[in-house]
Structure 1
Amino acid sequence: MSVDPFAAISDPNRRFLLEELRRSPKTVNELAAMLPVSRPAVSQHLKALLDNHLVTVENQGTRRLYAINPQGFQKIGFWLDQFWV
């Protein structure tokens, strides 16, 4: 799979997930409760964000907690910065 953070953030559901995770880390179930898609669909969206290093996941007992990975946004930031003249 090609790593392309721009493709990862092109999906509105993934952008929603990123906005929610920016507020605070959450589990798949917490995120799935906020979207009109299935829990497996949310997991697939999170995998795309993980593959592009835009989120991290941490095991806390039986829970997997997803959070924003600020370093993952550097590639996007560097690309966008070239347009701020």
Structure 2
Amino acid sequence: MAVRIRLTRKGRKKQPFYRIVVADSEAPRDGKFLDIVGTYNPMSEPATVDIDSEKLQGWISKGAVPSTTVASLIKKQAGAEAAA
């Protein structure tokens, strides 16, 4: 079972809100997942990313691979924390 860290969409039509979840790579986008590690809200100004870094590092150490979008969000949050 390959495990991915990816986005799942929530929210209403034209008002997306995403959860950053750990899921089996073969599960549907909004289907069953193993754990929620954060959220991403592209509608706020500026877009907000909230990630539980302890959970994230725990899943990465177990072999979970972030998607390209989640990897860029992780990098964006790490840059924001370093600047603060």
TM-score (norm 2): 0.25
Q: Which structure has the higher relative contact order (CA within 8 Å, separation 6+)?
A: 1
Larger relative helix fraction: 1
